[in-house]
Structure 1
Amino acid sequence: MAKVPLILLPGTLCDERLWEMVNLSDLAEVKVCDVSKADTIEGLAKSVLEDAPERFALAGLSLGGIISLEIMRLAPERVMKLALLDTNPNPPQPEQISGWERFIEMANNGQFLDITRKYLLPVLIHQDRRHDEALVSKIIDMAEKVGKVGYINQLKAVMTRSDQRSILSTIDCPTMILVGKEDMVCPVQMSEFLKEKIPGARLEIVNHSGHLSALEQPGKVSALLRDWLMKGEER
């Protein structure tokens, strides 16, 4: 079987290491894109499309999922299959915008890494993993690599994103929704909404996982993404 071109999009403050334990290389020609170089969701989506094959499968986690939905608005004919992991299609809420503005101020005041350590880690991963030194270290290292400028770009992008709920009913490629059962950032009900609104979508809930499912439960996520890649003809 020919390998499928596959674009993987990481979440905020994540890089290619978000996906490094997800084993798909025998099934797909995998490309992980940088999602920190523009400060709008449309700009980030266009940067992915510029470097993508003409037709490809697409999977994104969190911010990566938001960008994936924008790609479905801009160029749905190019996407063979879609996977949305731990993703929120809703527009930003005022309290979220206030929090992100505070994080931008902290980042510009020399407190960039404090944001991940003190504010993000407690909600990003399952409570049982908060003392997993290897996992925590990887999350902090990814944040350091994305850096202050990249993070501020990402925050500006999500602060100004549009309401993506209107896109959902137009998606007509095979779609899998995946979410960590204990995700505190994009709770399960958001994924249930995605399943309800995207025609024919399937929903997979990964037990014992928070928001970073690809890092927290890579074996389970690998198995589900492999099944998604192998099953279902293009519609």
Structure 2
Amino acid sequence: MPHIQANGVNLYFEESGSGTETVVFSHGLLWSHKMFRAQVQHLRKRYRIIAYDHRGQGQSEVKGPFDMDTLYEDAAALISVLCEDPVHFVGLSMGGFVGMRLAARRPDLIKSLVLLETSANAEPVENLPKYKMLNGLVKWAGVIGPIASQVMPIMFAESWLENRNNAKEIEFWKNELKANKRSITGPVEGVIFRKGIEQELHKITCATMVVVGDEDVATKPEKAKFIQMSIPNAVLHLIPGAGHSSCIEKPAEVNRLLEQWIEGKD
């Protein structure tokens, strides 16, 4: 599958579907383009879809730095090369950090913005000890089973993890976590030591939809509310029973929201 040289790094991406509108998916930390597979499968019937891996993650090149400004520059370069017209940008968590910077700084590239389970703030101080401890263990041992078991409740709603009907999905995504190489510690540091973008939100003028799971413990619903209140005319949707990965936990609901959103922007 294709790679593209963007901002001095080799980024992996997958392209599918066709149409006059392009939707770009930008994933969260520790995952890859795969986290949007349900949305890609649904939307590619009507739209051109691009889903890419951030530097240092998935199948993209491991090359620092991994700060959010660099990742924003990566995304801007990728869109500039692959897309002639502004795109609908869908970013989850880390992908949302990128999306907000894109919309604020490169409005020429973004037609509309969808932010899933993300925050405009720096990482809360109370989270840093645990995250730094886990990252230190990964540097030493990789994302072994016990570490993945501690990360899963950060990524998914408690109710979703406790539902036996989700056993196969849970096993799949836990294995995806364990597939991360030790080099994932670079991107992790880029996230946990990121700068906030609160002061730039007023610059975002494109149509913006903010979505958050009501059980998200990583970027809590009040973070989504802050974004929605800070971006002119932004709308907010709360998804019951979802945590920090609503596109995986509640794919039908996210698909519906995205389809209605993009239809309204055609």
Identify the residue that residue 74 of structure 2 maps to in structure 1. Answer: 47
5 Å-filtered alignment, 1:50-61, equals 50-52=77-79, 53-54=83-84, 55-61=86-92
> Among residues 121, 142, 147, which one is paired with 2:176 in the alignment?
142
- What is the alpha-carbon distance in structure 2 between the residues aligned to residue 122 and residue 232 of structure 1? 35
State the AA in 1 paired with 2:21: V
5 Å-filtered alignment, 1:83-232, equals 83-114=114-145, 116-131=147-162, 132-149=166-183, 151-232=184-265
Identify the residue that residue 6 of structure 1 maps to in structure 2. Answer: 23
C-alpha distance after superposition, 1:94-150 (max 9, x if no partner): 33333332122101211523465332112321223224322212222322344321x
SS in 1 for 2:38: coil
- What is the alpha-carbon distance in structure 2 between the residues aligned to residue 86 and residue 136 of structure 1? 19
Alignment check: 8 A CA contact 1:181 1:207 kept? yes
> Among residues 103, 107, 118, which one is paired with 1:72 in the alignment?
103
C-alpha distance after superposition, 1:142-197 (max 9, x if no partner): 22344321x21221211332221111111100110011111111111111111111
- What is the alpha-carbon distance in structure 2 between the residues aligned to residue 181 and residue 19 of structure 1? 19
Alignment check: 8 A CA contact 1:129 1:135 kept? no
Segment drifting more, 14-23 vs 216-225:
14-23
SS in 2 for 1:57: strand
How many pairs does the alignment contain?
232
Alignment check: 8 A CA contact 2:160 2:241 kept? no
Please say if 1:31 is aligned against 2:50.
yes
The normalised TM-score by structure 2 is 0.81
Bigger RCO of structures 1 and 2 (CA < 8 A, at least 6 apart): 1
Unaligned runs of 5+ in 2: 1-17, 57-63
- What is the alpha-carbon distance in structure 1 between the residues aligned to residue 202 and residue 160 of structure 2? 36
> Percentage identity across aligned positions?
19
Identify the residue that residue 62 of structure 1 maps to in structure 2. Answer: 93
Alignment check: 8 A CA contact 1:125 1:183 kept? yes
SS in 2 for 1:21: helix
- What is the alpha-carbon distance in structure 2 between the residues aligned to residue 29 and residue 110 of structure 1? 40
- What is the alpha-carbon distance in structure 2 between the residues aligned to residue 174 and residue 46 of structure 1? 21
